[in-house]
Chains A and B, each alone.
Chain A
């Protein structure tokens, strides 16, 4: 059951996934492309500080690419089932949970492809640049973070996309209402009464989601391929 499901997901997504896999391989190389060794030298002409600063320009692109891959995997997983009204899926002798898990598992395996490409690209990039003393390349860590970010984006969007359009719109609407309503109330009301610092609800939730041990921390953590 699993293998045909994996194959089906691959057939559904391959046109979109292949360019993303290529991008995953190329991104680390592009990120270090300005750091080539100085002519006649084995080391780059840039200072360690300059190298770190230059590679940091590309840092937002890594989590964005991971999120794009996760979204593509999640939406393609349910796209055709939604279009077919789930009639076919519901006529198969499986519980709904079993069916969703099979689909989820297929996407998880496909997520390994861009992560592997990132790992190879990061190693190639690390190999291509002669780093001054004090700097190190972290290709394994970068690729692992990339994989985790894809998985988080995929799982979140997979769960949202599994519902009906109405359910998804409700979730997105509630989240948007919470953020917008929270921001407005925080800015317009709490600031007026001088209680903003104590009752920054949206800020607290965002901190919990994106920092420390929050589920989306992987997106805001350290994406540096080259660091001290």
Chain B
């Protein structure tokens, strides 16, 4: 068993307007897996499918090698989950919510919960209904981490939080991972947030998983090339041209966004009679945007 989460050809239909189609996703054990995608792309629905909250129409799901939803009870005992929206009971205080939550988890670490509460500056006697969004976000993370989970599932955990709280939350996650080598599945539309911490990345768009690869390959594999004198029709390349467009007012110079680029490949461009003027790295956000653009019908690769 090398995957913590495994989805094979999973499909799910919400309504006429939205469906997840043929999602095959693999989260290696011990990885920090960033799940990227614009709002409404299906990230939360995918999470709810493998958390057993939604039932797939087809395909199979397993977590730690156990079938979802058949073995959900034992699976959930090993998952710390921070959902997209706050889901705690507002009439309870922080201490009461901790006691309530702790009663369901055998591995609950009370000492660590107290330590985290101090680190995250949460007041045990504070009523949840009076807490700010940032404090509620920290509480949700505190609940998830104090379970000592083998898998942390974080659905937009820092969405809407201020930078200070966001840093605290991510620091707490990283500390936990470095201590326990737990697997982390973190969804976000904030690309930069994931760039620094993830070692794998999956990209969702319009209900499809359009890419899944190690972060290093994602960061380094997508480049912006400037090419002079390229022919109209491109031969088969060992890299993928995600998009190409002619630069404004620069004659025959084109900008290509390519995936899977390696330096020796420049000779293949030159054999076409074109000249490679320069190669630039894209940051993760630019790569993400270009990748999504290449999968969308209105702006497909090669479109101007």
Contacts and interface: CB of A to CB of B under 8 A. Distances in A.
Interface of A: 1, 3-5, 7-8, 11-12, 80, 84-88, 90-95
Interface of B: 51-53, 72-74, 76-77, 79, 81, 83, 85, 87-92, 96, 99-100, 103-105
6 contacts: A1-B104, A11-B96, A12-B91, A91-B79, A91-B81, A93-B77
Nearest to A1: B103
Given A4-B99, A4-B100, A11 B74 contact: no
Given A4-B100, A8-B100, A87-B53, A93 B91 contact: no
Contact of A87 (B87, B92, B99, B104): B87
A180 to B, nearest CB: 31
Interface residues of chain A: helix, strand, loop or mixed (majority) = helix
Given A4-B100, A87-B83, A93-B104, A11 B51 contact: no
Given A11-B92, A90-B51, A94-B73, A84 B87 contact: yes
Contact of B74 (A87, A90, A92, A93): A93
A87 B84 CA distance: 10
Contacts of B79: 91
B96 A90 contact: no
Contacts of A3: 103
Given A12-B89, A91-B51, A94-B73, 6 more contacts: A8-B92, A80-B90, A84-B87, A88-B89, A91-B81, A94-B76
A184 to B, nearest CB: 35
A160 B96 CA distance: 29
A190 B231 CA distance: 86
A5 B91 CA distance: 13
A90 B79 CA distance: 12
Contacts of A1: 103-104
Nearest to B100: A4
A8, A85, A87, A91 — which one has the most chain B CB atoms within 10 A of its CB? Answer: A91
Contacts of B53: 86-87, 90-91
Contacts of B92: 8, 11
A79 to B, nearest CB: 10
Contact of A80 (B72, B83, B89, B103): B89
Contacts of A86: 53
A11, A92, A94 — which one has the most chain B CB atoms within 10 A of its CB? Answer: A92
A22 B251 CA distance: 87
